[in-house]
Structure 1
Amino acid sequence: MHSVTTQSTKAVHKVGLNKFRLSWSLRTAKGWMITALLVSDALGLVAAGWVTIALRYVLLGEWRWDLLPQVWPVAMGYIGVASLRNLYPGVGLHPASELKRLSTTITLVVLSLLALTFWTRTSLAYSRMTFGGVWLAALVLLPLGRALTRQMMMALDLWGYPVAIVGRGEGKTWLWNFLLGNKMTGLRPVVAIDCATSKGASGKEQPHLCWEETEDGLLFPFVANIDTAIVLTESLPESVVHYLSSGRSTFKRIVLLPALEHVSSLGVSPFTIDGFLGLEIRNNLLNSVEQRVKRCLDVILVCVGGILISPLLFIVGIVVKWTSPGPIFYGQERIGRGGRRFKAWKFRTMVQDAEQVLEQYLTKHPELRAEWEANQKIKEDPRITRFGQILRKTSLDEFPQLWNVLRGEMSLVGPRPIVENEIEKYGDSFELYKQVHPGLTGLWQVSGRNNTTYEERVRLDEYYVRNWSIWLDIYILAKTVWVVLSREGAY
């Protein structure tokens, strides 16, 4: 099936990839990905310049088209630094980590240019207002442009460069299916190196190659046109892991995936002790400075946002009272940080005697009882009023919880607050849940919301607590805006 040539007694088998010949789009995918993001960032910075000029007109009443060329030093500096920080194509970065790098890069470049104009005495030739406006606009436009670019590239089947997966067993099959189903990762599996035939998500056999242990050493296949290998270390013989990690393979990039399921991924970095490689795991929950920053952000955003939306909340309250009998607000005891109980507030979206109405409905429709017991939700909930349905789909019913955030009982971002009878469903994860304040929004709300299972929700809460950082909160807040506008997973 495959042509094999041997270089020496301890050489590596060169196994032809004729059966798995890569298409032109896969061979050139990485170049397309980098080009698309470069264009996106450049256009985003130009757009930031336009926004700045427009704001200058609104505030000062003057159009200054001559200021637009001042964007180019920012653009060139940004693209140069972003390239050094591996933002092109940025594969392997969590969205929160990418947001952090984008924000710190544009901030560093703008501050450097301001300092340069000061020390070279050219500050009069450059507008500090232009630099400041471009900086603020770019903080929004750059991440937005990248998200839209990825969506467009995925629609054109141009996002994702080829990778090989080296591993055995269920872990390899799971990873193969996961990468195929999550194109946003930018990694597209095209061949498995495992010496065993297995099936992917489509039920078809995965293209695979084999290694071989001999008296002369390990014979490992050569894979053409694939630079990256993802290695599941737990399922492999030590000789294979050693060979791949020693730098002798033909892969330019080796990604080792150890079995560290319950370890933070965003808070991990390499740590070297006299040549020995270790992993440094940071527990940001114990960082008092970041905790204070989180609390300050909560208070500032709640105060500013509350003032801006207060007319809307007033109107919602009137409509709630007018459309159905009962109070405007509904309070329910929830479990907060440290296991303390508090009353979480919402706009009332249900009829009076809601529990009695639900029980009667489930009695008439016993097929729905399992759904209710599993998720504590059903799609056609008879308790919800007509206006309540609108409030839930737009998430407006949650806004009274801003009061809970201001009181320090909740945070803007965190796990969804649970009730007493949900503790058993959380199991051991409840100890993690108690380490943080529950949130008005969180990973569950921006990851499918009601379209996910209860078990997936618990896993998302676990991930949030283990990987918490200010940048993860900022990412979730930004994505919440899109989820609310698109009403994704809301019912």
Structure 2
Amino acid sequence: MTAQIEEPIEAFPYTPPTEEIKAKYKHIFELKVPIKVPFPKLLFDKTLALFFFLATSPILIFLWIFNFFEGILIPENKGPLFFYYNGVSHGKVFKKWKIRLIKEKYIDKDLQAKGDWHAYKNEWMPEARTYMGRFVKKTYLDEIPQFYLILKGDMSFVGPRPLAVHHYERDLAQGNVTRKLVRGGLLGYGHVRKGTSDFGKPDFEYEYVHRYLTLSPWKLLLTDLYVIWKGIVVVAKAGGH
């Protein structure tokens, strides 16, 4: 008998679409294939991601040094700087790279080999985190590798946050369709409301896809700029957990 895995609330707060959402955004639920990324958004993503990828390179070097010396001083904290699990964006599975937060002994090696998010489910245990992991998570620096994923074309700057495969499948099962229609984003129209009562409500993800469909590519970029600004404010509060 397989033991039931306790999933932390932080990992998946998204709720099913309400009847009101289904009626208001009926045209979205009728879509059968993913939506093509508009060229201006694609160009914007690549340009901004390249800028941030280069700008954050010194931070990655600092974190690599931090991680290296922490591993020497505290052997149980030794391990690679990066890790990945399989996520879904635009309906496709990809390797979602992040900066390692927890000690190797708290990682399930069998699940890690499969790219299963559950390998890292101990992330929310304070004793499981390395000193660097605590700092990185609080300041959202674990998301830096996603600039590379935007350059690679797996993600966008703005879009519904990509979910691990099992969370994505549950999202679909409960009736949500946004994550199979557009590229996942470093920042989401709903995700930037983290810390408020609106976080986790699907309304914002559907509104974003609606704008994706109805606005001109250039007006869509204005929405993206708004979301990026809101994201900067969230990061500036250093409230990651």
Query: Secondary structure of the equivalent of 2:21?
Result: coil
Per the TM alignment, residue 295 of structure 1 is displaced from its structure 2 partner at its CA by: 0.7
- Aligned residue in 1 for 2:43: 296
Per the TM alignment, residue 377 of structure 1 is displaced from its structure 2 partner at its CA by: 8.7
- Aligned residue in 2 for 1:434: 180
- Aligned residue in 1 for 2:211: 467
Query: Secondary structure of the equivalent of 1:416?
Result: coil
Alignment counterpart, residue 328 of structure 1, candidates 74, 81, 99 = 81
Change in CA separation of 1:428 and 1:297 when aligned onto 2, cut-off 3 Å: same
The amino acid of 1:443's aligned partner reads Y
After superposition, what is the alpha-carbon deviation per residue over 1:102-142, rounded to whole angstroms, capped at 9, x for unaligned? xxxxxxxxxxxxxxxxxxxxxxxxxxxxxxxxxxxxxxxxx
**C-alpha separation in 1, matches of 2:163 and 2:229:** 23
Conservation of the 8 A alpha-carbon contact between 1:413 and 1:476 = yes
Change in CA separation of 1:421 and 1:301 when aligned onto 2, cut-off 3 Å: same
**C-alpha separation in 2, matches of 1:322 and 1:457:** 41
Alignment of 1:84-163 (within 5 A): none
Q: List gaps (5 residues or longer) in structure 1.
A: 1-258, 265-284, 358-372
Alignment of 1:370-409 (within 5 A): 380-409=125-154
Residue 12 (structure 2) pairs with residue 261 (structure 1): no
What TM-score does the superposition give when structure 1 sets the normalisation length?
Answer: 0.35
**C-alpha separation in 2, matches of 1:344 and 1:415:** 14
**C-alpha separation in 2, matches of 1:377 and 1:477:** 30
Conservation of the 8 A alpha-carbon contact between 1:336 and 1:410 = yes
Per the TM alignment, residue 428 of structure 1 is displaced from its structure 2 partner at its CA by: 4.7
- Aligned residue in 2 for 1:316: 63
Conservation of the 8 A alpha-carbon contact between 1:423 and 1:430 = no
Query: Secondary structure of the equivalent of 1:331?
Result: strand
After superposition, what is the alpha-carbon deviation per residue over 1:438-458, rounded to whole angstroms, capped at 9, x for unaligned? 111113431025x6698x254
**C-alpha separation in 1, matches of 2:78 and 2:207:** 41
The amino acid of 1:300's aligned partner reads T
Q: Identity over the aligned pairs, expressed in percent? A: 25
Residue 155 (structure 2) pairs with residue 410 (structure 1): yes
Conservation of the 8 A alpha-carbon contact between 1:433 and 1:462 = no
- Of structures 1 and 2, the larger Rg is shown by 1
- Aligned residue in 2 for 1:340: 92
Change in CA separation of 1:302 and 1:424 when aligned onto 2, cut-off 3 Å: closer
Query: Secondary structure of the equivalent of 1:333?
Result: strand
The amino acid of 1:442's aligned partner reads G
**C-alpha separation in 1, matches of 2:64 and 2:58:** 10
Report the aligned-residue RMSD.
Answer: 3.1
Query: Secondary structure of the equivalent of 2:149?
Result: helix
- Aligned residue in 1 for 2:238: 487
Change in CA separation of 1:377 and 1:431 when aligned onto 2, cut-off 3 Å: farther
Residue 194 (structure 2) pairs with residue 448 (structure 1): yes
**C-alpha separation in 2, matches of 1:464 and 1:383:** 36
Residue 228 (structure 2) pairs with residue 477 (structure 1): yes
Change in CA separation of 1:310 and 1:355 when aligned onto 2, cut-off 3 Å: closer
Change in CA separation of 1:293 and 1:422 when aligned onto 2, cut-off 3 Å: same
Per the TM alignment, residue 409 of structure 1 is displaced from its structure 2 partner at its CA by: 0.4
Conservation of the 8 A alpha-carbon contact between 1:413 and 1:442 = yes
Q: Which has the higher contact order (CA 8 A, sep 6+)?
A: 2
Query: Secondary structure of the equivalent of 2:135?
Result: helix
**C-alpha separation in 1, matches of 2:62 and 2:69:** 11
Per the TM alignment, residue 463 of structure 1 is displaced from its structure 2 partner at its CA by: 3.5
Query: Secondary structure of the equivalent of 1:409?
Result: coil
Q: List gaps (5 residues or longer) in structure 2.
A: 1-18, 26-33, 71-76, 110-117, 213-219
